[in-house]
Structure 1
């Protein structure tokens, strides 16, 4: 170099890079690349949304393990919605169809790439079984939804039965039988699990006169379907005392006798 200094190889390399010719695409090249990119995207979209390459080949169901609600029932509710490409399945509509099954409380539907539509269901659980005039039993969940009627109640579920007194019959136009049933179901749903299993029957004599018949022969005078949580706590405490008759109809003055 002119000043006598040794050249720095790194500096020379940087200078060479700065002085190297730039690669510039012509307008035609940009157009060609844009067209090529659009074509690739179009082919991929066709493969995903319209071809049979990623068709639904199976519907996998979770949460339907028994004869009451089978995987085939769930698949049948979805029907032709699961035909064709997985990407085009309307997940919200599939979920609505599954949740229309009376025994289904909630459903989730999602895509399991590349070929599976996945469904998870939560079944309704009976809080009570309402005995009808025909002797059959309608299962009702804790939210008051009726979802099945069978010849016998499920094991361990309280049976609601109307045994209306004359005063209750006299005011039936004011407090209807469906209202009385809803109140009794709310009582059954509000019982702690261990106590609910012991409550064989929930007898409704009137709005203010609901009675529980427990396994072992004990009875509970419950009263109205008001203050359910408070009455349930009182009853659990009272049952630490020996007796055959428990009264929580007036929570301010609970009693045990017999």
Structure 2
């Protein structure tokens, strides 16, 4: 027979654990403290100057033509005030309004930095303006800069219209012909673009590349530019005076 003086361990383990119960007053106090804490944090982040924007950090400035100060200036008043209140979409729109910027990404770098990553526009051609300067144009046909000289390694669009082309300007006007030349220039891979000194437009169907070594590429129209570029890349290793890719399925070299 078990000694009643000996405690039953199982009985001790099964004993109910007392629960902490708060009075209504205690619950109200905790809720009030929680509200004060939340309000304080909200004020600290969104209203106080403790987490203000103090710096703008810019990435992607590869060309040397676009400076951090210009990007920061585009943000205007967004550079001031609490970092948490910066409208990031608006910040991106403002930076993308800078002509040399093709795309911008903006995010918060806590506690005080507004971070910006830009993708700069790349010139695929330069178009001579009426005052003798050169407008730099990207692959989308957007003119983003005008300078006294064409960038190195970028072909210059040269309109040398034939009599027939001049007579057909109501069908293909000068802007359309410049756009055709830009289409050709944009379709050139980097290794070919650097060798093209000029894109001469004699008519819409008679576009030619003047290579830096003196050779000529008869391109024809801007149609099938990708195919023509691949064919030219395969032919360029052969020394010749003329490369004809106007009919890319039947290319020819001569001279």
| Matching residue of 2:225 | 228
- Following TM superposition, by how much is the alpha carbon of 1:34 offset from its aligned partner in structure 2, in angstroms? 0.9
* Residue 65 of structure 1: how far off its partner (Å): 5.3
Instruction: Answer yes or no: is 1:74 the counterpart of 2:71.
Output: yes
Alpha-carbon separation, structure 2, partners of 1:65 and 1:193: 17
Aligned partner (choices 200, 203, 214) of residue 203 of structure 1: 200
Q: Aligned to 1:25, what secondary structure does the other structure show?
A: coil
Is 2:135 aligned against 1:138? yes
1:27 CA drift (Å): 1.9
Give, in whole Å, the separation in 2 of the partners of 1:240 and 1:43: 71
Aligned to 1:45: 42
In the alignment, structure 1 residue 106 sits paired with structure 2 residue 103:
yes
Check whether the contact 1:65–1:71 (CA below 8 A) recurs between aligned residues. Answer: no
**Does the Cα contact within 8 Å between 2:75 and 2:94 map onto a contact in 1?**
yes
User: Please, which of 15, 32, 50 is the counterpart of residue 35 of structure 1?
Assistant: 32
Question: How many residues in Structure 1 have an aligned counterpart in Structure 2?
Answer: 254
Match of 1:250 among 243, 247, 251: 247
Moved more, 125-134 or 97-106: 125-134
Counting only pairs closer than 5 Å after superposition, residues 161-176 of structure 1 correspond to structure 2 as 161-176=158-173
* Cα distance in 1 between the residues matched to 2:47 and 2:150: 49
Residue 8 of structure 1, CA deviation: 4.5
Quick one: structure 1 residues 191 and 67, their matched pair in 2 at CA, closer, same or farther if it must change by over 3 Å? closer
Secondary structure of 1:194's aligned partner: helix
2:211 counterpart residue number: 214
Aligned partners of 2:8 and 2:93: how far apart in 1? 73
The whole-number CA distance in structure 1 between the counterparts of 2:153 and 2:182 is: 15
Aligned partners of 2:62 and 2:120 also within 8 Å: no
Q: Which sections of structure 2, spanning at least 5 residues, go unmatched? A: none
TM norm structure 2: 0.94
For 1:13-32, what aligned pairs fall within 5 Å after superposition? 13-16=12-15, 18=16, 20-32=17-29
Once structures 1 and 2 are overlaid, which stretch shifts more, 69-78 or 230-239? 230-239
Q: How does 1:146-185 map to 2 (within 5 A)?
A: 146-185=143-182
What CA distance in whole angstroms lies between the structure 2 residues aligned with 1:47 and 1:13?
Answer: 50
CA contact (8 A) 2:128 2:157 kept: yes
CA distance in 2, matches of 1:65, 1:253: 40
With over 3 angstroms needed to count, the CA separation of the structure-2 counterparts of 1:60 and 1:201, relative to structure 1, is same
Q: For structure 1, list consecutive stretches of 5 or more residues without a partner in the other structure.
A: none
- In structure 2, C-alpha distance between the alignment counterparts of 1:141 and 1:78, rounded to whole Å: 24
